[in-house]
Structure formats: structure tokens, C-alpha cells
């Protein structure tokens, strides 16, 4: 039962905390469903969006970003809109992909910004280019304007350029306090705060304290565009932990971003002309190599179907064996599906390629034991061009098939894997282990970024520490090396350490302050499996301290225990993110139309008459 106070107009108030792409996606679904719902609910809905940054892109996808920062998805593979493949309960509301927008409305929208206009022209000639993040920010803001501009009568929308500091109250009667002093009464809440920046973890805190005591520099996990990279001086050795997308961003900002230039050499290899302002980057990670670059091949035949990773097969295994091992049981099924899809396409399967041995390929240097620093770097460099050639071969159907199978497996695991069927170690491991593996194989940087890093290595700007990287503070700075190397290999030392990866979002102490307040007050709880905000995975309702799901408080995005699905998606695949957003929107309208809410509106209207 919801006991709801409604203002004298009889309008239900929805407050959305966070205005980035996920908020935009849910808002789009709320408004898409609005005309039908408002036929019986003429009193309407008042929506308040709280975000200090412009709505649509929010903090991460803001427009004032360095032009060298690129998306890791092709422009043709990015959309915020549903299409005819959508199977959610709400109506389809078509709209352009990023590439289509750049060829039409986008080109007009940025006509007075020469760099962005030129980028739109390049994407128009090649929709599979990788757009800059700032261009995508313009696309998202345009989409927000289109979506809200088409809001039907009875729905009012207002953006508050402020930060939500506190939430109090109870189901149906919330109060959101903003940092500008505004108090927003709310009947319904949706938290889509995105990639919040939590307090640094214990390990990073120790390193920051060590740096403070000894006059060193430590940049903890953060969004690269937010980090102060001016402290990385020209020619100075810099230790970097992480070889994922944040590392690629960092390299771009301290090379091209400082005036360096890449050009094609006479031999066909890429060459780098330094500006003289670059630091020397010593980089390593647990895996020790760059993520697999984005694949160039497009699928020519029908999309593969998962034959082995099915609910029926998992149920059969669970009945036979009891709790399942994710690494042994579930991953075996994923690998069987990859192998089957390649075989069904009539492609050679002799020897089963590295992409058909996913766990083995996930640690490509595990068999190497290096005796010198030169051997370490050679192992990394020798692996990278081979991987790059495999990825960029546009006629290689195996890469397209493997990518599509992994994408289908990713969706299946996020939607259907019964976590209760996993053994205890696997429950702790999933979904982090899977996301780590999936990102390595299917969510890497643009291919030209990998070529650039190899060119920078030849120039001596980027050096490789190797796999199984260790880092230790000492009196003069930080030392790093590889556990896979002989003890005789000298450590790399520097007074600067950069952790080039995103911070882990946490819901309790050490995490986002708003979420910590919710947990402290018992209005929310921490998911024991992920450390994030606990939600009912079926309904996206926030769970309170007792595990009870709120009736009028939803949360979605990377700050929650939701398995990662991204904020936008490829067109034409019935992306799960759109169905999830549609589900939340449907529940919002169901709540607005609930009998007790309708009675509260009537009572409020009568009282004001």
C-alpha cells in the first residue's frame, strides 16, 4: 500500500537523480508510454532531472572534452533510440544512430563549430569511424531536446543544474535536498547517477599518503578527462597501472594532446613525431597487454544462436552437479557456443583459435618467463601486432562471429544466469570476472589507437613493464615490475604513479556520499556480491536495509548491482538496455495509475477546490 501526499494540482512528481545517458534512456521510455497512459491519468506527471551537468550527456559525456578522446564504439554502432527489433512492451520511437545524426541533424547542429562540422563530414563518408566523445555529447544533448520537446500535454519536465545531497522520507513521500538549497518533494524517485566518483580505496589511499609524505605524485583511479595530467613533465618517467581504455586516453592526451603527430611512414608502419613535451610512460597490468582492438569485420550471414549457453542446459548441469563453477561450467558453455558458431559458418576450426579458448586467450603471456627487461617488452610487442592484424582484417568472418556470440552471451548472462545456482567462489567472482574477460575480447580501443601505441613504443615514449605487475612504494618514489620476470630484472622506479582505470563504484562508506547517506539511514543497502547499491534485478527497485524493495524508488546503471549493459547500444539487435529502461518506465506509470495513488490525487484536488 502506498500512502502518497500529492500537491494541490493532483500531479504526481518524479525526481530523476542524474541526467546522463541512462537517465535519458529511461526518460525516453517514460515519455514514449505517456500518451497511452495519460488517457486515463489526465492529471499528469511532473519530472525533475537533477544533474549539475547538461542533461543527456551528464558528467562523463559532457561537451567540453578534449577532441583527442574517442569513443570505443563505431558511430554506426551507437544509438539512444529503439527500432523495429525492439520487443519491450512500450511503443517504438525511432531516431537516428550517431552516424545518421552526424549526416543530418548533427551536421546542422554543429555547423558553427568547424572542428565538429569536419568530424561530421568524416563520419558521413565513413559511418564506421570512431567519433569523439564530445561529438557524442552533442548527440546526446540533441536527443534529450528531441525527446523532451515531444513530451505530450500533461507531462512537465524541468532540469536542475545542481547536485543531489540528501534523500529523506518514505515510499511515495520523498524529499530530495540539492546543494543549491532547493528542496524537491517527490512521489517517485529514479537514481541514475552513473559512474560516480567514490572515495579512493584502501590501496590507493596508502599510495596517496605515501606520495604526500615524500613529495611525490599519485593520481588515483579516475576518469582520465578529470585527472590533472599537467603534473606529468616532459621526459620524466611515469609509472602507469592499467592497459585498458583509461590508459589509451591518457596516452592520447600526453602525446597528440601536447602537439605530437602521427604519420604513415614509407615502410607502411606508423611513425610518431614528438613535440618534446611527452613524459616516458612505463605501463603494465595484470594481463600485461592491451585490450583486443575493436573488430573491423561485419557479420555477413545470419546472427549465431546460442546452442549451449541456455537456461535448459544450466538447469540440467545444476541438477546433475549442484552449484556450478562459473569458470569451469559456464565458461565451457560459452566456449562451446563460440566453436559451434564458427563451425556452423563453414569456417576452419582446426586447432581451435585463441578466440575459441577464451580463458586461455585472456592471459596471452601466461606461459612467458622473461629473464631481461628487453624480453618483457618484446613479448608484449610481439603479441600486439598479431592481435591487431586479426582484429582489423575486414574479411575475417571469424572475428565477427566471435564478437556476436560474446555479445549474445553477455546479454544472456546479465538477464538469465541464476546467480543462486553458482557456487560460493563463483558468486563472488561473477559478474566481475566475466566483465573483465568480455571487455578484453569485445570492448577494446579503436584499432588505430593500438597502432599509435606501438609507434610510441618505437619512439621510446611508451615502455612496457609486463604482466602480473607489482607496485611498491619506497623512500624515493614507487617501484614496479613483473612477477613473471626473473628476480634479476631491475625494477622500474619513478616519483609519479598513475592508476589508469576507473574507480570501483561503492554504495556504502568509501563510496558516493548520497548513496552512503541512503545506506546509513536504512533507505538503501549494499549488495554483498558487488559492493554496489542493492536492487531487485527484476524490477530495478532499490532494496532497503531489510531487503525490502521500495515501491516508488528505482535505480539503474553502473552504480547499482545491475550487471553492466551500457547506456546506449547498437541498432537493430533488440538491445537489452532498451527493454530494461522500458520496464522501469512501465512500473512508473503503473504506480501513477495505482488505485491508492488515484485516490490521493482526487483527495488532493478536492481539498484545493
Per-residue pLDDT reduced to its tens digit, 196-248: 776 778 899 999 999 999 999 999 999 999 999 999 999 999 999 999 999 99
How far does Cα 194 stand from its chain's mean position?
Answer: 9
Q: Is residue 598 part of a domain?
A: no
Q: Are residues 319 and 432 in the same domain?
A: yes
Whether a cis peptide bond, with omega within 30° of 0, leads into 335 is no
**Are the CB atoms for 546 and 579 separated by under 8 Å?**
no
Angstrom distance (rounded) from CA 511 to CA 356: 38
Q: How far apart are CA 485 and CA 548, in angstroms?
A: 51
**Per-residue model confidence (pLDDT) at position 301:** 81
User: Is residue 346 in some structural domain?
Assistant: yes
**Domain identity same for 471 and 524:** no
Are residue 477 and residue 421 in the same domain, yes or no? no
Task: Evaluate whether residue 515 is within a structural domain.
Answer: yes
Residue 539 within a domain: yes
Enumerate the β-bridge partners of residue 270.
264
CATH number, domain containing residue 20: 3.50.50.60
pLDDT at 19: 97
Q: Is 470 helix (H, G, I), strand (E, B) or coil?
A: strand
> Does residue 2 belong to any structural domain of this protein?
no
Are residue 87 and residue 177 in the same domain, yes or no? yes
Q: Kindly state the cell numbers that stand for 529.
A: 556480491
Dist. CA 175–CA 188, nearest whole Å: 10
CA-nearest of 159, 164, 142 to 63 is: 142
Whether residue 529 contacts residue 419, with contact meaning beta carbons closer than 8 Å, is answered with yes
Specify if 209 maps to a domain.
yes
Place of cell 529503439: 82
Whether 180 and 70 map to the same domain: the answer is yes
Residue 41 CA neighbour count, 13 Å, CB half: 28
- pLDDT of 2 strictly over 70: no
Specify the residue for cell string 604513415: 264
My answer on whether 324 and 438 are in the same domain is yes
Answer yes or no: pTM beyond 0.75: yes
Domain-ending residue, one of 475, 499, 523: 499
211-214 long-range contacts, CB within 8 A, separation 24+:
211/497, 214/475, 214/476, 214/477
Mean pLDDT of the residues in the chain: 90
Q: Check: CB of residue 574 under 8 Å from CB of residue 85.
A: yes
3-state secondary structure of 7: coil
- Structural domain of residue 274, as residue ranges? 202-290+445-499
> Within 13 A of 323's CA, how many CA atoms are on the CB side?
8
pLDDT of residue 385: 72
C-alpha cell read off for 441: 575480447
Judge if 435 and 459 occupy the same domain. no
Interval 110-128: pLDDT, tens? 999 999 999 999 999 999 9
Give the number of C-alpha atoms closer than 13 A to the C-alpha of residue 392, restricted to the C-beta side.
Answer: 14
Residue 324 phi, psi (nearest 5): -95, 150
Percent of the chain with pLDDT over 70: 92
Could you tell me which residues are beta bridge partners of residue 549? 543
Q: What is the pLDDT of residue 391?
A: 67
Distance CA 505, CA 498 (A): 19
CA pair distance 68, 159, nearest whole angstrom: 29
Whole-angstrom distance, CA of residue 454 vs CA of residue 443: 19
Please choose, from the candidates 51, 79, 31, the residue with its C-alpha nearest in 3D space to the C-alpha of residue 194.
51
466 and 515: one domain?
no
The total of structural domains in the chain comes to: 3
Q: Are 339 and 354 in contact (CB under 8 A)?
A: no
Beta strand 477-482 pairing with 469-474: antiparallel
Establish if 38 belongs to a structural domain.
Answer: yes
Residues 464 and 352 in one domain: no
Element spanning 45, H or E: strand 45-50
d(CA 242, CA 250): 11
202 Cβ neighbours under 8 A, 6+ residues apart: none
348 and 392 belong to one structural domain: yes
331 pLDDT band, cuts 50/70/90, is: very high
Residue 350 is predicted with a pLDDT of 66
Q: Are residues 558 and 452 in the same domain?
A: no
Does the pLDDT value for residue 4 go beyond 70? no
Please check whether residue 302 lies inside any domain of the structure. no
Same domain for 123 and 17: yes
Cβ-count burial of 230 within 10 angstroms (0-12 exposed, 13-18 middle, 19+ buried)? exposed
Place of cell 603494465: 284
Has residue 267 got a pLDDT over 60? yes
Amino acid at each position: 500500500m502506498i500512502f502518497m501526499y500529492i500537491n494541490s494540482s493532483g500531479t504526481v512528481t518524479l525526481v530523476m537523480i542524474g541526467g546522463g545517458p541512462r537517465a535519458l534512456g529511461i526518460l525516453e521510455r517514460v515519455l514514449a508510454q505517456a500518451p497511452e497512459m495519460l488517457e486515463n491519468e489526465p492529471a499528469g506527471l511532473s519530472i525533475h532531472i537533477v544533474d549539475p551537468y547538461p542533461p543527456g550527456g551528464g558528467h562523463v559525456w559532457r561537451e567540453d572534452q578534449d577532441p583527442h578522446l574517442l569513443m570505443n564504439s563505431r558511430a554506426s554502432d551507437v544509438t539512444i533510440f529503439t527500432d523495429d527489433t525492439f520487443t519491450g512492451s512500450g511503443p517504438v520511437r525511432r531516431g537516428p544512430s550517431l552516424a545518421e545524426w552526424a549526416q543530418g541533424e548533427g551536421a546542422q547542429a554543429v555547423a558553427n563549430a568547424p572542428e565538429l562540422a569536419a568530424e561530421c563530414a568524416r563520419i558521413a563518408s565513413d559511418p564506421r569511424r570512431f567519433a569523439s566523445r564530445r561529438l557524442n555529447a552533442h548527440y546526446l544533448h540533441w536527443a534529450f531536446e528531441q525527446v523532451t520537446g515531444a513530451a505530450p500535454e500533461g507531462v512537465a519536465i524541468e532540469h536542475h543544474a545542481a547536485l543531489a545531497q540528501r534523500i529523506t522520507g518514505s515510499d511515495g513521500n520523498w524529499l530530495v535536498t540539492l546543494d543549491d538549497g532547493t528542496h524537491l518533494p517527490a512521489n517517485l524517485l529514479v537514481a541514475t547517477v552513473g559512474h560516480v566518483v567514490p572515495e579512493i580505496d584502501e590501496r590507493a589511499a596508502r599510495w596517496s599518503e605515501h606520495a604526500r609524505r615524500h613529495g611525490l605524485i599519485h593520481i588515483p583511479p579516475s576518469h582520465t578527462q578529470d585527472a590533472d595530467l599537467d603534473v606529468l613533465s616532459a621526459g620524466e618517467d611515469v609509472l602507469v597501472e592499467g592497459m585498458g581504455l583509461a590508459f589509451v586516453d591518457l596516452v592520447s592526451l600526453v602525446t597528440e594532446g601536447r602537439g605530437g603527430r602521427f604519420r604513415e611512414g614509407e615502410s607502411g608502419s606508423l611513425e610518431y613525431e614528438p613535440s618534446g613535451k611527452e613524459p616516458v610512460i612505463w605501463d603494465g597490468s595484470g594481463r600485461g597487454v592491451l585490450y583486443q582492438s575493436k573488430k573491423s569485420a561485419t557479420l555477413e550471414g545470419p546472427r549465431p544462436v546460442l546452442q549451449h549457453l541456455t537456461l535448459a542446459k544450466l538447469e540440467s548441469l545444476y541438477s546433475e552437479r549442484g552449484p556450478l563453477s562459473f569458470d569451469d561450467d559456464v565458461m565451457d558453455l560459452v566456449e562451446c557456443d563460440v566453436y559451434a558458431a564458427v563451425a556452423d559458418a563453414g569456417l576452419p576450426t582446426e586447432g581451435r583459435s585463441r578466440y575459441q579458448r577464451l580463458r586461455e586467450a585472456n592471459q596471452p603471456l601466461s606461459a612467458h618467463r622473461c629473464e631481461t627487461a628487453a624480453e618483457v617488452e618484446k613479448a608484449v610487442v610481439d603479441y600486439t601486432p598479431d592481435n591487431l592484424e586479426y582484429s582489423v582484417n575486414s574479411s575475417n568472418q571469424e572475428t565477427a562471429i566471435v564478437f556476436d556470440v560474446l555479445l549474445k552471451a553477455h546479454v544472456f548472462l546479465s538477464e538469465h544466469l541464476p546467480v543462486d545456482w553458482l557456487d560460493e567462489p563463483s558468486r563472488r567472482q561473477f559478474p566481475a570476472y566475466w566483465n573483465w574477460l568480455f571487455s578484453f575480447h569485445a570492448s577494446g580501443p579503436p584499432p588505430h589507437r593500438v597502432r599509435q601505441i606501438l609507434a610510441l613504443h618505437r619512439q621510446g615514449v611508451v615502455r612496457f613493464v609486463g604482466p602480473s605487475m607489482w607496485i611498491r612504494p619506497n623512500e624515493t618514489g614507487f617501484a614496479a615490475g613483473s612477477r613473471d620476470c626473473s628476480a634479476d630484472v631491475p625494477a622500474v622506479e619513478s616519483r609519479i604513479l598513475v592508476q589508469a582505470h576507473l574507480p570501483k563504484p561503492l554504495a556504502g562508506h568509501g563510496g558516493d556520499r548520497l548513496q552512503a547517506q541512503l545506506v546509513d539511514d536504512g533507505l538503501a543497502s549494499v549488495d554483498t556480491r558487488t559492493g554496489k547499491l542493492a536492487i531487485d534485478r527484476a524490477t530495478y527497485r532499490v532494496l532497503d536495509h531489510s531487503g525490502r524493495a521500495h515501491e516508488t524508488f528505482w535505480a539503474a546503471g553502473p552504480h547499482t548491482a545491475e550487471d553492466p549493459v551500457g547506456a546506449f547500444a547498437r541498432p537493430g539487435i533488440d538491445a537489452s538496455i532498451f527493454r530494461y529502461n522500458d520496464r522501469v518506465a512501465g512500473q512508473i506509470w503503473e504506480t501513477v495509475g495505482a488505485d491508492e495513488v488515484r485516490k490521493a490525487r482526487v483527495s488532493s484536488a478536492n481539498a484545493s477546490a
